[in-house]
Chains A and B, each alone.
Chain A
Amino acid sequence: MTALIGGVLLAAGVALFILEPVFSGRSAAFYGGDDDFDEGAARRRVALTALRDLEYDRATGKLDEADYDALKLELSREALMHLGPDQDSGKGVETEAIRVARQLEDEIAQIRRAIREGMQCASCGHVNAIGARFCGHCGKRLATGAGAAAAASDGGAS
């Protein structure tokens, strides 16, 4: 008997809860939300991530200069293609996607700077793998990357 009363109460409670929106007109949103998805921004993020990985691949010596240049060109074009009109519209609110894209850009800039300042040989211009102490081309001693990068970080990314 108690079980039956429990069952009736359960059924009534459930029915009330799920039918309430229909009677009260309370409704759920159809659109949007705080981080509305933007296809362009997503593409851009993918391209930037690939570009970032490309920089790492070059830095670790997985890719040589010719391959790097070709891929960089393609990826940069993709990233630019999806640079949406709202990217710098000054709306005041930054979406998650844009924030991530900016972080990636900063990171790419950071790697490039480190390579330029640390890994590129000052005397012959050859770009060495990260971690190299001596130039792979002319054999001269390289400025240490860590010091150069630290200097770069202090300079800020803007």
Chain B
Amino acid sequence: MTVLGEVALWIALPVALWGTVVSFVGGRFRRSDLVLSGERTVYMLTLLLLVVSAGIIAAFLGNHYEYSYVANYSNRELDTYFKVSGLWAGQRGSLVFWTLLLSVFASIAVFQNRRRNREFMPYVSGTLLGLLSFLLVVLLFADVNPFERLGFTPVNGRGLNPQLQNYWMTIHPPTLYLGFTAFAVPFAFAVSALLTNRLDSRWIAITRRWILLSWFFLTNGIIFGMRWAYEELGWGGYWFWDPVENASLLPWLTATAFLHSIQIQENRGMLKVWNMGLVVTTFLLTIFATFLTRSGLIESVHSFAENLRIAYIFLGFMGGMAALSAVLIVYRLPSLRSENQFQSFLSRESAFLFNNFLLVGVTFAVAWGTLFPLITEGFFGETRNVGPPYFNSVNIPIGLMLLALMGIGPVIAWRRASRRNLLKNFTVPVLAAAGALGALAVIGVRHSMALATFTIAVFVMTIVITEFWKGTRARARIAGEGMWSALVSLVRRNRRRWGGYIVHAGVVIVFTGLAGAAFDVRMEQELAPGEAMSVRSALGTEYRLVYESLSHSRPRVAEGERENDWRWTALLTVYRDGDRVGILRPERRFYPVMEQQSTEVGIASTAFEDLYVIPKEVDLESGSERVTFEAKALPLVPWIWYGGLMVTVGALIGLWPAARVAAPAAARRRSRPGPLPAAAAG
């Protein structure tokens, strides 16, 4: 199977190159047989890449340590579960997986449009196949071939990094990769629109759902990543502005900007060049994120270790794509002229525009901070890092402005808003926010950024809820429906709008959860069995932790095998305000194969806060049962996950295909179809 996978990888490259050439040639010279051949190539590449991936997974499952990739990311003792995820555990496999997902999305796009939008398709498949060819060239010729052999067969592999042995880690990377690769489809349509000079709103109409799909996966991928960091890294945080995290945030930011700015193009025929720029930028950032995550470019500036060859190849590719896209956009500038002008500063258009500036501003700030070590290295010969203080001081204020815009945008009128419009819609939310601010100040909240966050959150939530309430009531009155069915039909009639509002509400909740970090309380204490420690959260909950015992376990294994991990499990009874609420079993693990330690934290959640227990120091050798625990009371952290779930739901509502109104036979006979049953009869 593995050899077949390797063969398939070699077959894939000429196939992809053939497809690229015939698609472009077929499109240019109107050879429809070549176009069809190109589209079939897309399907066949998916098949071949499935074989390649199956080959890699088979090598993992069969413990084929003669392959260096397998030897580096697995060992005999690893769970089957993590062996399968070995496909994306390291750089080489990740590249294969990325390529596979890209080909799957390409196949879906081609299949979806087998009878529609035909003018675009030769260049769409050509662009996607070109990308696939590039990735295959990298896989085969840039020292990252996953099938590279060591020349000897080690008895066992080096094992998987313990931090990656967590179930979120099997879900998080694929989700993120789905987001990255799905964005290649809108990019391909954009290129095709530029090449064919069909720059009306069509390509946007075709790709809107793709963009939302990509955004959906990116959002979930990022949230899963936060979840993984929170549970596995064992320090009670979920985001550190680490290069890899930032890399996944960058395309998310520009994709979010794009989702908003296309509405101006659709409604007002403006910002066409800007939108093209955003599509290209987002796409390039997805590529950047992928290679940054796995190339070790940023880390390698400290060590000059890894092969930087792949970094240069990717940078060159990105530069080339950026240049080509720029040339195409400039060439088509006459077709990208704006049809309208901004009429007023106070209008929904300018709210959207402002939102775009802010999002792009954050993108630049994050990119600058991420690349800062490289920049200082290049110019001053000395590596400097900017830490979380830089990112927080720049991004929190901008984030708060964005948050406020989420409230302003939906109710401000298109084109130009009158003072009456503003007064009418903002009086109540502003009063509600002011009330919240007053109440928080009275109960003694003094942290300025947290105060600002909560106040703005109340402002936005009031607006979102009012919108839903008013809309539902109006719908109920107009259509004579009950409140529930009015709400459902309201949302169904304009999924993007109402789905968007739900996303906004979710983001507000996430922000509120993030602001909770201002009130973290931590306590560290060394305990012997039977002793207890207490921690009082900012919300006033009194937690008492009684350390019961420490147990040491080594899993049973077959003869000749070693254990993957040894575990020291502490048993703690948790009392919340005097009531016994449960038991936590935080662990310290030692991975003999990797010779590394890791921590499994214990988390006790309520709807409003988490108690987070870290066994900080465990004496693994002497057999002493004294353990130093760190207990953290983290208010509002659960809201990040609730908010994330709400964002997901909102995005799904926006994504859900509009129920195609099946045209009844009567409609085909030119009678008048409509939402009203009476219409067909009348």
Contacts and interface: CB of A to CB of B under 8 A. Distances in A.
Interface of A: 3-4, 6-7, 10-11, 14-15, 17-22, 25-37, 39, 42-43, 46, 49-50, 53, 56-57, 59-64, 66-67, 71, 74, 90, 92-94, 96, 99, 102-103, 106-107, 110-111, 114, 118-119, 130-131, 145-147, 149-150, 153-158
6 contacts: A18-B40, A21-B37, A30-B119, A94-B663, A107-B675, A153-B480
Given A7-B7, A37-B117, A114 B477 contact: yes
B487 interface: no
Given A3-B3, A43-B201, A92-B670, A130 B474 contact: yes
Contacts of B667: 94, 99
Interface stretch (B415-423, B601-609, B634-642): B415-423
Contact of A31 (B7, B51, B118, B417): B118
Interface string B409-429: 001011101101100110000
Best-surrounded residue of B51, B118, B479 (most CB of chain A within 10 A): B479
Given A29-B115, A46-B266, A94 B480 contact: no
A156 B19 contact: no
A154 B8 CA distance: 64
A10 B424 contact: no
B554 interface: no
B551 interface: no
B442 interface: no
B44 interface: yes
Interface residues of B, number: 77
Nearest to A95: B663
A134 to B, nearest CB: 14
Given A29-B32, A94-B670, A99-B663, A6 B473 contact: no
Contacts of A19: 37
Interface in B20-78: 22, 30, 32-37, 39-41, 44, 47-48, 51
B425 A147 contact: no
A149 B266 contact: no
Chain B binding surface, main DSSP class: helix
A30 B7 CA distance: 35
A95 B477 CA distance: 31
Contacts of B661: 99, 103
B51 to A, nearest CB: 7
B623 to A, nearest CB: 52
B18 interface: yes
A153 B424 contact: no
Contacts of A25: 33
Contacts of A15: 15
Contacts of B478: 59, 110-111, 114, 130, 145, 149
Nearest to A28: B36
Nearest to A56: B474
Given A146-B476, A157-B679, A74 B37 contact: no
B202 interface: yes
A69 to B, nearest CB: 12
B488 interface: no
Contact of B675 (A39, A62, A63, A103): A103
A156 B670 CA distance: 16
Contacts of B47: 14
Given A62-B425, A114-B477, A156-B676, A37 B682 contact: no
Contacts of A56: 471, 474-475
Nearest to B206: A37
Contact of B33 (A27, A114, A149): A27
A2 to B, nearest CB: 8
B7 to A, nearest CB: 3
Given A3-B3, A130-B473, A131-B477, 19 more contacts: A7-B7, A14-B15, A14-B47, A17-B40, A22-B33, A28-B36, A28-B121, A32-B118, A42-B200, A63-B413, A67-B421, A92-B669, A94-B668, A99-B663, A99-B667, A103-B661, A106-B676, A106-B679, A156-B676
Contacts of B202: 37, 39, 42
B622 interface: no
A96 B660 CA distance: 9
Given A17-B44, A103-B661, A39 B421 contact: no
A4 B119 contact: no
Contacts of B266: 46
A56 B469 CA distance: 12
A27 B676 contact: no
A78 B121 CA distance: 31
Contact of B672 (A67, A93, A102, A111): A102
A34 B113 CA distance: 11
A158 B672 contact: yes
A57 B162 CA distance: 55
B1 interface: yes
Given A33-B118, A60-B471, A156-B681, A92 B18 contact: no
A23 B3 CA distance: 31
A137 B201 CA distance: 44
Given A22-B33, A27-B36, A158-B682, A3 B7 contact: yes
A67 B32 CA distance: 52
A65 B424 CA distance: 12
A133 to B, nearest CB: 11
B82 to A, nearest CB: 26
B474 A60 contact: yes
A3 B284 CA distance: 37
Contacts of A63: 413, 421
Contact of A21 (B40, B476, B663): B40
Contacts of B117: 33, 37
B493 interface: yes
